[in-house]
Structure 1
């Protein structure tokens, strides 16, 4: 609600003070003319400037949702006919933007289909990829229609809520869907500048630092200690990971940017261009973020050939699948996520976890993450105490002698009997679904009988059913990661993740555990291979309003 009891009129992404008068006309087209004034005070100067620039950035022929607080009967989808704003600044006193917009009404959501024209083709690539054609309309859409062939769906939950993503969208179709105008902007891609002010158009000033791109799943911004900070939304918050971009291979990365500008700025897709002076010449980096995507796309260019690179700012152990177009972390990070980076064209793996391309003037890449699912067991890290854990044929103490994350781990010391273990409290599970059991273990001395991170399964009365096991004979004196996916058996209602020393080792055998988690398995659509395939077939989208 606007200040001083005024209502709001929302033109696309631009919030404005609702005026008393709306001028409409019929005939060949139903025209709606609006005008009003934004001012500082009561708004901030930055808000007035952003709204002035946003009005002037509206594109003739563009389809936008329009909503009113006090005149909701006028809510609907409109085509822009003309727009303009007069900016006046009274030095150190007041700023005003007197705006006018002329629109043609397409219709309400009940009579309007929004058609997404997914243009382009699968990226030319060196890995014989056909890609996966996918699409993510706004949160709150309905009636998604692709003709006689239906896509599959998945749900991604981000900062804006749960979004339906359509996978394997039939080729040569332009999906149609409905959406309340009041829901159209939920889950959109946002470009913000200094102070978090959203930028409403492309032809507007943008600070070289302090900007961000966000779609609720990925947030990209600058960093004082790296080229980019690419954050993944997981566990109710954005989780940061720093990346370097370089035109000197593993040499000095680009630590700051000279300029930033927007090439495209729509709710479904934003393209940001960064510029860096070289000596001589310059480098440009185009970043693209799409609605519903779990990765940001990059395109690095230079005028003369160089060794181009995009890589983790600090070493993170990784598994190279360069022959298949991507690199991924070997194990979960402290937030439970796994980075993914790749390219459509052949490249060399960077030791830190990343890609390089020698003697090149351009390099495409994507950066994302396999985001963790919520942890089902309590206290996975032992950083406070050993609560929720029960030792069997062993003792369990909290130890600072060894730790993988934080300053503590759980120290399991065998006493007598078979399979000495520490088991977490029983977590609800569903028979037939897949669950991950993962974590870090440290054996100070060899354990010939092996170790594991397993799940005990229980029925609805919490009676034991069976155990899903994952065993390895570890090297001693180093942390090692264990990760396995198990299917909950028939009649399972609970699962108890535990770390265990195999066999009957006798008393005094030590095993440290840290970050021991039971989670739902990564859903189809969010694995590293899925993200690579979705990058290969990421299609530019243009939205049009058509009568239903």
Structure 2
């Protein structure tokens, strides 16, 4: 709600004070004229300026949602005819913006289809990839229609909630869908400047150091370490990855930018341009973020040939699939995610994890993550205690002698009997679904047998059913990552993840475990290969309103 009990009118993304009256007209078109004033106080000066600039950034012919607190009957989709705002500042006293907007009503969501014009098909690429056409309307949309051929769907859960992503959208199709105007902005792409103030247009001031792009799945900001902080949302929080951007290979990376501006800023898609002076010459970096995407796209350019690179600012063990257009982390990080990055063009993999292109004036790339599902077991890292775990034929303590993440691990010490192990408290599962068991193991000395990260399955009464095993005989003195996906058997209602020394090793054998997680398997559509194909087939989107 606006200050002092006023209602709000939201014009596109711009929140404004709702005035007592609106002027309407009929005839060939149903017009709606609004005018009002924003002021500091009670708003902040930055809020007044953002709303003033936002009004003046509205584009004639653009279809936008408009919603009212006190006049909800006027909620609907409108086409912009004209907009203006007069700015006044009385130094150290007040700032005002007197605004006017003239609109033509398209209709309510009950009578209006929104049509997404998805232009373009496949990026030119060096890997013979056809790409995957995908599309993500707002959270809360309904009635998605692509004609005689239906796409498949997946659900991505981000900071704004669960979003349906449509995969395999038929070629030469402009999907139609409905959406309540009050839901249209949920899950949108946001561009913000200093103080997390959302920016509503493109011809507006943008701080070179305080900007951010976010869509609820990816949040990109200047990096405290490295050039960019690319954060992936999973498990209820964002996890950071710092990336270097360089026009000098690994010798030097860009640590600050001289200027920032927006080339596009819509709920569906935003493009941010960064500029760095090279004395002489300059580099530009365009960052693109789309609604529903798990990755940010980048395009780095220089005027003269150079060694262009985008790479993790610290070494993270990775696997290169450069022949297929991407690299990815070999194992999950402490947030349960695995970074992924790639390009549409041939590149050399960077040792830290990333891409290099020599003797080039441009480099296209994408950065994202195969983001994990929520961890089911309560204490995967042992950073605080050993709660949630029960030792069988062994003891379990915390140890800071070895740790893969953080400062602590769980130390299993065998006593007597078969398969010394530590098992987490049983978690509810659904028979027939796929679950992922992963984690890191470290044996200080050779144990003479295999080690495993397994799942014990139980029925509704928590009676044991069976075990799904993933075993390995790793070298001693190194951390080894184990990762496997299993299908919950018939009648399974609970599962317990465990790490174990297989066989009957005798007393005193040591095994460290860290980041031991039970999760639903990473959904199809979020794996590194999926993200690569979705990048290749990214389609610019424009939204139009049509009467049903």
Is TM > 0.5 for Structure 1 vs Structure 2? Answer: yes
- What SS does the aligned partner of 2:55 have? helix
- 2:409 matched to which residue of 1? 409
Distance 2:337 2:523 in 1: 14
- In structure 2, the residue matched to 1:529 is 529
Partners of 1:41 and 1:94 within 8 A in 2: yes
> Structure 2 CA distance, aligned partners of 1:255 and 1:416?
56
Give the structure 2 partner of residue 467 of structure 1.
467
TM-score normalized by structure 2? 0.99
CA distance in 2, matches of 1:413, 1:44: 60
SS at match of 2:29: coil
Per-residue Cα deviation, 1:253-298 (whole angstroms, up to 9, x for no partner):
0000000000000000000000000021000000000000010000
Query: Within 2, Cα distance between the matches of 1:42 and 1:417?
Result: 71
Once residues 430 and 39 of structure 2 are traced to their aligned partners in structure 1, the CA distance between those partners, rounded to angstroms, is 56
| Alpha-carbon distance in structure 1 between the residues aligned to 2:29 and 2:385 | 69
| Equivalent runs, 1:69-468 vs 2, <5 Å | 69-468=69-468
1:224: how far off? 3.1
The 10-residue stretch of structure 1 (138-147 or 400-409) with the greater mean CA deviation from structure 2 = 400-409
Aligned counterparts of 1:43 and 1:3: Cα–Cα separation in 2? 8
Write out per-residue CA displacement over residues 367-402 of structure 1, whole angstroms, 9 at most, x where no aligned residue: 001112111112111222222212222222222211
**Whole-angstrom distance in 2 between the partners of 1:506 and 1:92:** 78
Kept in 1, the 8 Å contact 2:223–2:243? The answer is no
Q: Tell me, in whole angstroms, the C-alpha distance in 2 between the residues paired with 1:76 and 1:306.
A: 51
What are the superposed Cα offsets for residues 58-85 of structure 1, whole Å, 9 maximum, x if unpaired?
0010000011111111111000011111
Cα-to-partner distance string for 1:388-445 (whole Å, 9 max, x where unaligned): 2122222222222111122221111122222111111111111111111111111111
SS in 2 for 1:336: coil
1:27 aligns with 2:20: no
CA contact under 8 A between 1:447 and 1:474: conserved in structure 2? no
Contact 2:86/2:97, CA 8 A, preserved across alignment: yes
CA contact (8 A) 2:52 2:97 kept: yes
Residue 225 of structure 1 deviates from its aligned partner by 2.3
Secondary structure at the aligned position of 1:310 is classed as strand
SS at match of 2:134: coil
Aligned to 1:493: 493
Aligned equivalents of 2:436, 2:27: Cα separation in 1: 62
Moved more, 224-233 or 302-311: 224-233
SS of residue in 1 equivalent to 2:46: helix
| Mapped partners of 1:398, 1:182: distance in 2 | 50
Which structure 2 residues correspond to residues 512-523 of structure 1 after superposition, within 5 A? Answer: 512-523=512-523
Question: TM-score normalised to the size of structure 1?
Answer: 0.99
Q: Which runs of 5+ in 1 are unaligned?
A: none
Cα distance in 1 for partners of 2:214, 2:474 equals 42
Alpha-carbon deviation of 1:88? 1.2
Secondary structure class of the residue paired with 1:37? strand
Deviations along 1:161-205, whole A, 9 cap, x unmatched? 111111111111100000111111111000000011100001111
| CA distance in 2 between partners of 1:477 and 1:530 (Å) | 35
Residue 448 of structure 1 and its aligned partner are, at CA, apart by 2.5
Does structure 1 conserve the Cα–Cα contact (< 8 Å) formed by 2:121 and 2:133? no
Alpha-carbon distance between aligned partners in 1 of 2:331 and 2:318, rounded to the nearest angstrom: 8
Deviation at residue 447 of structure 1 after TM alignment: 2.2
- SS of the residue 1:150 aligns to: coil
SS at match of 1:530: helix
Q: Report Cα offsets for 1:314-344 as digits up to 9, x if no partner.
A: 1000011111111100111111111000101
User: 1-side partners of 2:493 and 2:73: how far apart?
Assistant: 50
Tell me if structure 1 keeps the 8 A contact 2:25–2:31: yes
How far is 1:148 from its partner? 0.8
CA contact under 8 A between 2:133 and 2:169: conserved in structure 1?
yes
Task: Say whether the 8 Å CA contact 1:52–1:99 is kept in structure 2.
Answer: yes
Structure 2 distance, partners of 1:172, 1:333, is 40
- Which sits farther off after the overlay, 316-325 or 18-27? 18-27
Q: CA RMSD in A?
A: 0.9
Write out per-residue CA displacement over residues 88-132 of structure 1, whole angstroms, 9 at most, x where no aligned residue. 111222211111111111001100000000001211011111111
Alignment: residue pair count: 548
Q: Give, in angstroms, the shift of residue 151 of structure 1.
A: 0.7
Q: Distance in 2 between matches of 1:495 and 1:370?
A: 24
**In 2, Cα distance between equivalents of 1:255 and 1:398:** 39
Task: Identify the residue that residue 15 of structure 2 maps to in structure 1.
Answer: 15
- Between the aligned partners of 1:293 and 1:227, the Cα distance in structure 2 is 21
Aligned partner of 2:65 in structure 1 is 65
Say which SS state the counterpart of residue 380 (structure 2) adopts: coil
Q: Is the 8 A contact 2:157 2:163 kept in 1?
A: yes
CA distance in 2, matches of 1:240, 1:142: 33
Separation in 1, partners of 2:17, 2:264: 26
2: CA distance, partners of 1:12 / 1:287: 23
SS in structure 1 at match of 2:535: helix
CA distance in 1, matches of 2:103, 2:81: 5
Measure, in 1, the Cα distance between the counterparts of 2:289 and 2:540.
11
| CA distance in structure 1 between the partners assigned to 2:127 and 2:287 by the alignment | 23
